Amino acid sequence: MIATAAEARALFRAGTVAATSGWVPGRTQVNLIAVPADWAYDMLLYAQRNPKPCPVLDVTDPGGTGTILAHDTDLRTDFPAYRVWRDGELAEERTDVVDLWGDDLVAFLVGCSFTFEADLAAAGIPLRHNEQGRNVPMYVTTRQCRPAGRLHGPLVVSMRPIPADRVAEATALSARMPGVHGAPVHTGDPEALGIDDLDRPDFGDPVRAEPGDVPVFWACGVTPQAALMASRPPFAITHAPGHMLITDVPDADYRVG
Amino acid sequence: MIATAAEARALFRAGTVAATSGWVPGRTQVNLIAVPADWAYDMLLYAQRNPKPCPVLDVTDPGGTGTILAHDTDLRTDFPAYRVWRDGELAEERTDVVDLWGDDLVAFLVGCSFTFEADLAAAGIPLRHNEQGRNVPMYVTTRQCRPAGRLHGPLVVSMRPIPADRVAEATALSARMPGVHGAPVHTGDPEALGIDDLDRPDFGDPVRAEPGDVPVFWACGVTPQAALMASRPPFAITHAPGHMLITDVPDADYRVG
């Protein structure tokens, strides 16, 4: 039984691989995107111009391996799984990236919708992917982000089937957390986002909707990965979708008002 | 009588100089800080690391003179007054900066506490600086911001005397607007922030407190100017404190939840 964020990080550092939705309830989880310093301004500006999918919670100095978000963390080992990108192509997936973390690499830690899931669960709103033991499904949409420098790409969304009579409440609860994607970007019709088949997500697992559920879409921290694929920087490291760093920061810190 | 943001901008473009608190209620006002492209990453990172004083609402491309926040605006003319900085020293104050706006200048537009003043006023909370026809008082504190690259400097705060029985409400109303400084950083004792004399603000005008008022301090968008003074980049342009750009964006857009 994993009780604390530090324990979870130690487990992942030792090589365990797992999707982290539902892990260590109450502690904020974050996405990773690390790029060469030469690309850091474009990435930070891309995030500023697209705050819903890219809420940046911390940025390292070049070569740095720690973060203010988690005590004694090594960003090169403490995510359950990493993806390595070369020229915009997925080159490999790994459980650590110690040997690839150069002195000029700048890491961006980006908020994750898992943060508001705790509030949804506390309100009794069912989370189907957790009930079904799956990673949350994520989709590349036809909606383009606002470009920044050399970076451009589509919006990626996560989807949760929500009972129709709880959609308003799920919206209000997530809206209170703008630092971790905030309110849904879209509710209902997947086709309006260019999603043809909910059963074939681009990342994560398909999730079964229960009768009366409506698909609700939130901006997703995998959006920077889609920008990498579209914009092809020479090198980048990200987390594997759904496999996040569990920080020490209470989710409540991102609740506004 | 100025009714719209566009009318106000036209007036300032034509040379009028005025502190803008209370102008065009309901439209968001913004601070300006423009630096050479070589300093843009440090500034954007400084803002990311200090989001309460530096909530960035838009960033131009190098040399750009417009913004998504206001239709048909020229950032070189549409603020009522500008400050020009050389090596961290205030070099001059002007009503336009057309001839100084080089091709490599990157402009940051930063949220302003005037945005939540509309909500305070609507709730019947008195704004003493407006009652007294003065610019809001601003103070350099002894609290340091988190540094970023070559940029470091103290937190600057704005102060409003608020009746003691309305402080809680003023706090809650501003907390709903994290994009424009959010909740107060400090309430009550000025000495804890290193402010010796409320009657001698570092920027803006002194404001008379009424009996029963408590000084309430919000993070202030002049903070980047204090970073310029401390960190001495070769060149920068800012607005003159209290003399903001009035955008077309409704204040309500920055209200969360």
Interface contact A175-B257, CB threshold 8 A? yes
Tell me: pLDDT of A249 over 70: yes
Interface contact A40-B41, CB threshold 8 A? yes
Which pLDDT score is estimated for A257? 59
Tell me: pLDDT of B79 over 70: yes
Taking the C-alpha atoms of residue A43 and residue A35, their distance in angstroms, rounded to an integer, is 8
CB B53 within 8 A of CB B46: no
> Is A54 touching B (CB cutoff 8 A)?
no
Q: Which of A45, A49, A257 sits opposite B175 (nearest CB)?
A: A257
* pLDDT tens digit sequence for A198-244: 999 999 999 999 999 999 999 999 999 999 999 999 999 999 988 99
DSSP chain A: ---SHHHHHHHHHTT-----TTSSTTEEEEEEEEEEGGGHHHHHHHHHH-TTT--EEEEPPTT---BTTBTT--TTTSSS-EEEEETTEEEEEES--GGG--TTEEEEEEE-THHHHHHHHHTT---HHHHTT-PPPEEEEEEEPPPBTTB--EEEEEEEEEEGGGHHHHHHHHHT-GGGT-S-SEES-GGGGT---TTS-SBS---PPPTTEEEEEEE-TTHHHHHHHHH--SEEEEEPTT--EEEEEEGGGG---
Report in angstroms the alpha-carbon separations of A14 from A22, A106, A247: 20, 24, 17
Which pLDDT score is estimated for B254? 87
> Is B38 touching A (CB cutoff 8 A)?
no
Task: With both helix axes pointing from N to C terminus, report the angle between B223-231 and B37-49 in degrees, rounded to the nearest 10.
Answer: 130
Report in angstroms the alpha-carbon separations of A211 from A117, A131, A164, A166, B234: 21, 15, 10, 13, 63
Which pLDDT score is estimated for B21? 84
B105-111 vs B27-36, strand pairing mode: antiparallel
Residues on chain A touching B104 (C-beta within 8 angstroms) = none
Which pLDDT score is estimated for B257? 60
* pLDDT tens digit sequence for A150-183: 999 999 999 999 999 999 999 999 999 988 899 9
**Closest residue in B to A254 (Cα–Cα):** B178
> Is B41 touching A (CB cutoff 8 A)?
yes
Q: Which of residues 90-119 of B touch A (CB under 8 A)?
A: none
* pLDDT tens digit sequence for B177-201: 988 899 999 999 999 999 999 999 9
A27-36 vs A105-111, strand pairing mode: antiparallel
Residues on chain B touching A172 (C-beta within 8 angstroms) = 257
Unique residue bearing structure tokens 């409400």? B169
Q: Domains of chain B (ranges plus CATH)? A: 5-113+232-251 (3.40.1640.10), 122-219 (3.30.2040.10)
Unique residue bearing structure tokens 């889609």? A226
Interface contact A176-B256, CB threshold 8 A? yes
Which pLDDT score is estimated for A255? 85
